[in-house]
Amino acid sequence: MNARVKNVLINLVVIGSVIVALTSGIRIIGV
């Protein structure tokens, strides 16, 4: 696997995790 592609995939996973964490936090605060 290309290093650049691997870095992009890792970034997508990290960003996805952050978005999920933020949405979960908003839901908890909203409740």
pLDDT at residue 28 in the model: 72
Within 13 A of 4's CA, how many CA atoms are on the CB side? 0
Q: Does an H or E element contain 3, and which?
A: helix 3-30
Provide the pLDDT for residue 11: 97
Closest alpha carbon to 22 in 30, 11, 8? 30
Q: Measured between alpha carbons, how far is 11 from 25 in angstroms, rounded to an integer?
A: 21
Domain regions of the chain by residue span: 1-31
Q: Give 2-20 pLDDT, tens digit per residue.
A: 999 999 999 999 999 999 9
